[in-house]
Every structure is written in structure tokens, then in C-alpha cells.
Structure 1
Amino acid sequence: MALAGIPVHPAGLLLAAAYAIACVSARQFSLDQFFLPAGIRVAALLIVPQRRWPYVLLGELGYFAYLRIPTIDEYGLEWVILASTLLMPMAMLVVHLHLRKTISEAATGFWLLSLSISAAVAVTGLNLSLSRLLWPVPPPDTLLDAAERVVFGHFAAIITMAPLALLWARRRSGSPWQKRLLVPSLVAIALMLALGLCMQLISTDAHSTRTHLVLLAALPAITLTFMHGWRGAAIAIPLLNLPLHFATPSTGLPASFDLGTFSTQQNMAVMSVALLALGSSISYHHQRARSRGLAEETTLRLTRSSHQTSERELRERAAHLKHLSEGMDSSLSEMVSWLKSQGHHAVANSLQHASSVHSRLFREQASMVYPTGLEQVGLYIALQAGGACEIWNNTHRVIPPRLAGNPCLLTVDLQLAIYRSLIEAVSLLLELETGQVCVRARSGQAGGRRGIVAIVSLLDRGCTLSARTTDQAVERLAGRMLAYGGTVHCRGNRLRLVLHESITHASPAAA
């Protein structure tokens, strides 16, 4: 459909009609100290895309045409035309200038405060100036008295409606709502609704009682703000202001004003500002903590990936060494068989013995490069039968390890991490401390996690690890442990290593 060559969408006309009806209806319940159409004007501009703003302007013209055409004889045609056509463009300019600036989740509250104050001052200033200039008979009250009521009324309505409108406009963006807070949030909202209903039931002259109910309703409002930041404030502020507004006595005339509730509404405006500022601050710190957590998670994931890549390279190297060992054993076996066939049994036996010893040493060293047996028989067997155990035995300072639990239920990556950490920890104590070293480990399950606790300590409980040892332990072990969600504790004569993983993400490493 086109009008004078300009395309007109039926949905746009429906939007204009809905806006006009909403403003006319809200006008019947508005006071100078709480002017709902001002809040609806800014809220509509926040919800509706800018390409649809002409339809909002059309709805505004329809709304003013309904209200002001009958007043042409009283206030003059110039005022009716200018005051009806300039207010919405002024509000559009204010909203557009604010929307041009990209706002983060953390700065939304302060952005809303700036928008509310700017829109209230700009639109009200223009409206009051036009009335002073163009009315045949100027208004009886002074400009400052009128501005005090009208600017406050516009600001109170905008600060009530705009946060909720922005929350709806950004419903598909921002951080997700925390589901664990759903029940307490619903309880807080229900409590505010109940207190708002009580405001409607009490006498219109009971200003003190109404103020007490408002203060009680502020408690769940603060709770919502603490739980959800500026989004909680956006929900809480309408639940605070609208019940108070509807409980305020009204004459039903255009300049209706109730002095008894005005001070309470001023306090509510200050509380709304405080809630938005508090919510914005909470959202800011929550966003920073979330960003820091994501950065740490990314760093740990990259570190873990680096360790896994290194382990794959070592595994390939160990496989290559094993292939070389098998080739040398095969060649030596052929040489031994040939010597025996030639009658050189003594030389053959000597060569066979030397080959056996060197082959065993070669396999032990290869297992230190990568413990391939860990993938088949698990961590404990790899520790007790691999090259690490042989090296420990040769020092005559490491007593046989005491191992409990079934580490095969853990992933290979986790077992490799504790395997490398144990070897590093034992080497560290052998290098920097004196006396016997004890190794203990226990794997198991607690709650929804599986893990392993390993302790490398001095056998003499009266000894204490030196400061150099503890510093070296943290420096050399913490990197790998933290990459897998583990921790390193140095206390007394021991190093305590803890690694764990979620059961849902863990898969058995070996049968």
C-alpha cells in the first residue's frame, strides 16, 4: 500500500494506532508528577526499530489531534500545531544520540539515567517554552514551579518505562539469566506485587502507611537488583513506581497534582536512580568477573592443549624408539644365532646377555619419554614397573610407593598429568632435600567428580621442606596441575598434588 508515492505498511499503521490508543489511555491516569505518555514515548522509541519511527510519529500526531484539536479556540492554532509536532522529534533526537553510542552490559544503568534525564529536560523545556510563547493567556503558575512538577513527572515516567523497554529490546542479547535464581526472583516479584496491591486497598489519605509499604517493597527490589544487576533493577522499578502512581489520588484533570504523595514519589525517583546505579555497578563487576573467568578458562584450555600435543609427540617418539629397539634386538638375535651355528657359544652367550641388559635399559629410558604401558595397564602399574621405578630404586632413597584405588577409571590425560607431576616431585625432593622419600597416592570418587590425591613427602616427619624446595615445587608443578584443574600444596614435610575431573566428561582409560 502506498500513500502519495510513499510506501505504507499495514503493520506500521497498526503500530501507530496502538501507540495513539496507549497514550490516550495513559493520559487518563496521569498526573503532572507522573506523566505516563512521556514514558510510553521513550519506551516506544527504544523498542521500535529506527526505520519504523515514522509510524510512532504518526501515532503521536493522532494522539495530539484527539486531545488538542478541540482546544484550538482556547490556545491558538500555532501552539496546537507546533506543540503537537515538535515534541516527538525532540525525543527522537535524544534517543538517537544515545543509541549512537555502543553501550556495554555494565554501563546500561548509567546510560538509562542519562537518557531519562535528557529526554525529560529536553521535551519538557520545549513544551513549556511553547506554551509561554504561544498561549493567548500565559499559564498562571511560574515557569520554575511548572518545570519542577512537569520535568519530575516526565522523568519519573521515563525512568519507570525505559528500563523495561530496553530490557525487552535486548532480550536476545547479553549474558543468559541464571536459572538457579528463578525461584527467589519469582518470590521477590510476588512480594512486590502483593505490597503494590495493598497500596491500592488502603485509603487515599493514608500517606504515611503508603510510604511504609513503599519502603517495604524496596527490600525485594534491592534483592532483585543484587541478583540480576541492571536487569533486576529494570524489573523492580516499575513494580515500585506504578503501584504508587495508581494509588495516588487524581482529579482526572490535565494538571492533576497530589502534594501528599509528591514527597514519596521524589523518594521513589531517588531510589530508582540508586537501583539503576547499583545494578549497573553489579553488572559491571559481574561482566569483569565473567570475562576474567573466560580468559582464565581459555588460557587453561590452551595450556592443556599444549600439554596434550607435547604428549602426543613424545608418544610418537617413544613408538619410534620401540621400533628401533625391536630392530636392534632382531639383528642381535640373528647375530647370536649365527655365532652359535659357527660354534662360538661363549661369545654368543656374552653377546646375548649384553643385548638383554641394554635392551632392558633402553626400554626403561623409552618409558621415561612416554609411558606407553599406562594406556594399557594404568598409572599404578606404569609407576611400579616402568623406568621411573627403576631410577627410584637405584637411588636407594625412595621407599616402595603405597598406591590405593583404581586409577584406570580416570582419563589417560589426567593419569599422564599426575604421572609427570609425581616424577617431577620425587626428582625435586631427591635433588634439594636429604633423607628417604615416600610416595603415596589414592584415586577415588567424591560427589560428581573422580580424581586422585598424591603425596610426595620426606619419611622423617620432623623434617620440613625448605623454602627453596616449596618455591621450586610451585614453579615446576603448578603449571601442569592448574592446566588440568589441579592444585599443589606444600606443607611441613610433604607436597600434596590433587587432580580431578567431572564424571560426565571422564571415560575409563583402561579396562
Structure 2
Amino acid sequence: MKDRVLSGIPVHPAGLVLAAAYAIACVSSRQYSLDQFFLPAGIRVAALLIVPPRLWAYVLLGEFSYFAYLRIPTIERYGLEWAILASTLLMPMAMLVVHLHLRKAISEAATGLWLLSLSVSTALAVTSINLSLSRLLWPNPPPDTLLEAAERVVFGHFAAIITLAPLALLWARRRSAPPWHKKLRIPSLVAIALMLALGLCMQLIPTAAHSTRTHVVLLAALPAIALAFMHGWRGAAIAIPLLNLPLHLATPSTGLPASFDLGTFATQQNMAVMSVALLALGSSISYHHQRARSRSLAEETTLRLARSSHQTSERELRDRAIHLKHLGEGMDSSLDEMVSWLKSQGHHAVANSLQHASSVHSRLFREQASLVYPTGLEQVGLYIALQGGGAYEIWSNTHRVTQPRLTGNPCMLNVDLQLAMYRTLIEAVSLLLELESGQVCVAARCGNSGSRRGIVVVVSLLDRRCVLSTRTTQQAVERLAGRILAYGGSVHCRSNRLRLVLHEPSTQLQSAIIQPD
């Protein structure tokens, strides 16, 4: 069995290891802590963020062990009441603050504000209990005033929490967060390496050279800002420890629990402000990135649904056109039989008249059926289907559409794309014939640009001095853009022409594709 039962309470061995690790971490970090940067406070909040609430009891056990190690030897000096209360109230207060913050879902936009609120609230709550108990229960209260002590201790707790809490939250949300940008891996590693190098320089600077250390800290802020720009609040969560911890390790310490260095205190205050600014900047970048990503996904979904709707309509029209084709073939067969019977009865004049009328109406019927769906497009491609269909016959009858200039091989494009351009081209020509005067030219070219494949169609007025009216431009956008945009294309209205661009959905066709003259 994984669990052992002691006194009716289930005990997890992993939980005991967690408690021991927490106690050791707090005891070890306390040896390197100052009042102005108290690492155990940051470890306390970081542990509560990383460990799930069901295991918080073991973190509390580790806290009790840590304080037992520290304060049992001080009972005679400070009193049993203080040793017990000051050891048992701090972690429950921190748990309460973290629990109240965790109850509210964290969005990318609110991460920085959430962490700032958590850091300030925990620092104030824990410090107020700690200082109040020392003033009330110590036989000899500390000589400094409560306000002076609170300034140092609250700032020290806040500085440690704001350093470790973002990193802990980043680890806790590692599975739910979006993936890291692979393209930014090398710049990120360069920024981290630069910050580590500057952190090492801080350790080599003489203790009294506060001005030089401040300049190095400011230099380290530049790659920290770069990380925030590249990765949002997650970049800030990595950058803040790389800024604050080297400065803390380079701060002179007396080795006493209440060690304080006034020369570095101003720099650490600036670093705290910079940490808050980095979190705010990173959260804002993450928020806008998330909004842009959501908008992009919504647009992709909308375009996919639009394409699916067009494809469904085309399938229905295809079935209808096939049915009309069968009806036409049946009527042709019946009329041929009638013509043969009339000829066999000697009515040759009536038979020839009926045969002529049958051929004319059969041709018209096929042209109208091709307008419903160009079935020949699937076998011979867009260009031949366009020239042999009913649309081209209608254009010819207007005597306003010049001979189309069609170049390239449209068969290299998929059928859906050819159908979309077929429908859009017919609509564009009809639009110019309806709203403009003069001759209309049609030019199309299929081409490749690298790995990109697509087609560009230009429908223009023959007279280059003419300019499309505002009404025509508005109607073109309203009537043509829907189908074109659904396939990732574009519609451009310039001077006397409409320019339609379509490309394969899996490619990114830019304006570099070959354009008709």
C-alpha cells in the first residue's frame, strides 16, 4: 500500500519528503537572507503555488519543523508563547492569502496584477503578525520603532516573494500554458546567458562599489526587458530571479538574522519597482498576444466554415447539374427517336425542322446547365470550362467582352479553388457589364512563386482612362470578397480594374505571384 496510517490519519511518504525538503530549503536560505531580502518568505509562497492544496498539510508540517529548529533554542530568551504563536500562525495566514487568490481564475492579462496583489498581501499579512507578536510577547521588545522595522521586513518579504512567486507560478502552469516559441529559443538563451554573466560580474565587484553595482544592474535590465518582450509574463518570470538573486548574493551581510545593508537598499528598491514593471509589461504583452491568437483562430474558423458552406453548395449544384444533364440526354434521345419515326413515315421536312429545333434547344439547355455547375471543369480545367460554358456565350452576346487572355495551367490548382474563381469571375464580369459602360477585358494567369501556387484574374475596362465608380467598388467588395476571402484570397479595386487573387490554402501567396499585363 502506498499510504501508511498513523493514528487514523493517512500519511504519504512523498508528503514527508516534501515537508523535509521544505524545512531544509527554509533553514538553508535563512543563512543567506537579510531583512531587506528574506528568502524563506519567497519559498513559503512559492511552495504554496507549486504544491496542490491537498498536500498543503505537509508544507505546514515542514514549516513547523523549520521553526522548531530555529526557535526551540530561543524559548528562554523570548518566551514560550511567542515561540509557539509566531511559529504556528505565519503559514496559515499565507495559506489563507494564497487560497483567496487562487479562487479567482488567472487570465494572461491579469497575471501581473494577480502576482503583485499576492506578493503585497502576503508580505503585509505575515509581517504584521510577526512584528505584532514580537512587540507584545518579547520580554524586551526590539529597540527600533515598529514603522522602521515594518519598512525593512515588509520590503524584504515582498522582494523575495516577487522574485520566486512568478517562477513558481510558471512551473505550476507549465502544462496549461501555450507552447514556447521555437524561433525565439536562441535569442532567449543569449539574453539569459547575458544576465548570468552580468550577475557574475556583480559578485566580483567590491562590496563598497555600490554605484558600479547599480550600473551593472541597469545593464542586466536590458536583456530582462527583451525576455519580457519575447515571452510576455513568462519571460518576466524568468528574468526577475536573474535580476534580483545576483544582487542579493552580492549584498554585504553581517551573518546575523536581522542583517541589513543601507548601501544596497536603494538599489533593491529600484529592482522591486523594475520587477513590478516587468510583470506589468509581460502581462500586457501576453494579453495582446492571446487576443491576437484568439482573433486569428476565430478568423481561421470562420474562413473554414465559409469554405465548407461553399463546398456544400457546390456539391448540391453539381448533383442538380448532373440530374439536368440526364434529363437533357433523355429528351435528346426521345426527340431522335421521333425524328427517325417521322423520316420512316416520309415526313422529312417536319423531321428536319424538329431536328434543327432540337439541336438548338439542346445546346441552350446545356449552356444553362453549365451555369448551374460546370461539370467539365473537373476534367478539363477552369479555362476550357469557362470558354465552353454558358457564361462565355452570354458574354459574346453582349458584344462588350473581348477575347479573354488565359495563360498558365489551372489544372495544377485544386477543384474547389477553380470553382471559387469560376464563380467570382462570372460575378465580376456581370458586375462591370451591369454598372459600367464600355468594353470589358478579362485576363487570367496561373503561376508559381517558389512553393506557392495560385491564380490572378484581372477584370478591367478596355478604356484605361475610365475609373470604376464608387458604387462599382462597393458592390465588388460586397459581392466578390465573401467567396474570395473564404479561400484566403484578396480583391483589389484600382483605377479601371478589379484584381482577384486566389492561392492554395496551404500556401502563403503574396503579391509576388505573376500578374497579367
Question: How far did residue 449 of structure 1 move?
Answer: 2.0
1:126 paired residue number: 129
Q: Which of 184, 197, 205 is 1:202 aligned to?
A: 205
Give the counterpart letter for 2:472 in structure 1: T
1:368 aligned to 2:371? yes
Q: Is the 8 A contact 2:441 2:459 kept in 1?
A: yes
Q: Which of 452, 473, 476 is 1:473 aligned to?
A: 476
2:515 paired residue number: none
Q: Which of 453, 458, 463 is 1:455 aligned to?
A: 458
**Where do 1:336-485 residues align within 5 Å?**
336-485=339-488
Question: How far did residue 352 of structure 1 move?
Answer: 1.1
Give the counterpart letter for 1:161 in structure 2: L
**Where do 1:62-461 residues align within 5 Å?**
62-461=65-464
**Where do 1:16-27 residues align within 5 Å?**
16-27=19-30
Give the counterpart letter for 1:222 in structure 2: I
SS in 2 for 1:371: coil
Any runs of at least 4 consecutive aligned residues in structure 1 with deviations exceeding 2 A, and if so which? 502-506
What CA distance in whole angstroms lies between the structure 2 residues aligned with 1:250 and 1:503?
61
1:48 aligned to 2:47? no
CA displacement, residues 229-279 of structure 1 (integer Å, 9 cap, x when unaligned):
111110100010001001111111100011110000000000000010111
Structure 2: gaps (5+ residues): 510-517
What CA distance in whole angstroms lies between the structure 2 residues aligned with 1:473 and 1:505?
24
Give the counterpart letter for 2:221 in structure 1: A
What CA distance in whole angstroms lies between the structure 2 residues aligned with 1:373 and 1:194?
69
Q: Percent of pairs identical after alignment?
A: 86
Question: How far did residue 174 of structure 1 move?
Answer: 2.4
2:18 paired residue number: 15
1:509 paired residue number: none
Aligned Cα RMSD in Å? 1.2
CA displacement, residues 38-75 of structure 1 (integer Å, 9 cap, x when unaligned):
00000000000000000000000000111110001100
Q: Aligned residues, how many? A: 506
Q: Is the 8 A contact 2:453 2:507 kept in 1?
A: no
Q: Is the 8 A contact 1:248 1:261 kept in 2?
A: yes
Deviation larger for 493-502 or 164-173: 493-502
Question: How far did residue 202 of structure 1 move?
Answer: 1.4
CA displacement, residues 159-196 of structure 1 (integer Å, 9 cap, x when unaligned):
00000000000001122221111111111111111111
1:37 aligned to 2:50? no
What CA distance in whole angstroms lies between the structure 2 residues aligned with 1:2 and 1:78?
32
Q: Is the 8 A contact 2:452 2:508 kept in 1?
A: no
Q: Is the 8 A contact 1:31 1:256 kept in 2?
A: yes
CA displacement, residues 81-130 of structure 1 (integer Å, 9 cap, x when unaligned):
00001100000000000000111122111100000000000001110001
Question: How far did residue 294 of structure 1 move?
Answer: 1.6
Question: How far did residue 504 of structure 1 move?
Answer: 6.8
What CA distance in whole angstroms lies between the structure 2 residues aligned with 1:497 and 1:139?
81
What CA distance in whole angstroms lies between the structure 2 residues aligned with 1:407 and 1:464?
30
Give the counterpart letter for 1:352 in structure 2: Q
What CA distance in whole angstroms lies between the structure 2 residues aligned with 1:336 and 1:171?
81
Q: Is the 8 A contact 1:448 1:502 kept in 2?
A: no
What CA distance in whole angstroms lies between the structure 1 residues aligned with 2:396 and 2:381?
20
Question: How far did residue 350 of structure 1 move?
Answer: 1.3
Deviation larger for 60-69 or 347-356: 347-356
What CA distance in whole angstroms lies between the structure 2 residues aligned with 1:2 and 1:401?
87
Question: How far did residue 447 of structure 1 move?
Answer: 3.2
Question: How far did residue 502 of structure 1 move?
Answer: 4.7
Give the counterpart letter for 1:282 in structure 2: I
What CA distance in whole angstroms lies between the structure 1 residues aligned with 2:139 and 2:407?
97
1:186–1:89 Cα change, 3 Å: same
What CA distance in whole angstroms lies between the structure 1 residues aligned with 2:179 and 2:305?
25
Structure 1: gaps (5+ residues): 507-511
Question: How far did residue 389 of structure 1 move?
Answer: 1.0
Give the counterpart letter for 2:186 in structure 1: V
1:233–1:473 Cα change, 3 Å: same
1:447–1:107 Cα change, 3 Å: farther
CA displacement, residues 196-240 of structure 1 (integer Å, 9 cap, x when unaligned):
111111111111111001000000111111111111110100010
Give the counterpart letter for 2:358 in structure 1: S
CA displacement, residues 269-294 of structure 1 (integer Å, 9 cap, x when unaligned):
00000010111111111111112222
Question: How far did residue 305 of structure 1 move?
Answer: 1.2
What CA distance in whole angstroms lies between the structure 2 residues aligned with 1:177 and 1:414?
34
Question: How far did residue 133 of structure 1 move?
Answer: 0.6
Deviation larger for 288-297 or 368-377: 288-297
Question: How far did residue 76 of structure 1 move?
Answer: 0.4
What CA distance in whole angstroms lies between the structure 2 residues aligned with 1:181 and 1:448?
25
1:490 aligned to 2:500? no
Question: How far did residue 503 of structure 1 move?
Answer: 5.4
Give the counterpart letter for 1:185 in structure 2: S
SS in 2 for 1:141: coil
Q: Which of 7, 18, 22 is 1:4 aligned to?
A: 7
SS in 2 for 1:372: coil
Give the counterpart letter for 1:461 in structure 2: R
SS in 2 for 1:255: coil
Q: Is the 8 A contact 2:488 2:505 kept in 1?
A: no
What CA distance in whole angstroms lies between the structure 2 residues aligned with 1:176 and 1:323?
55
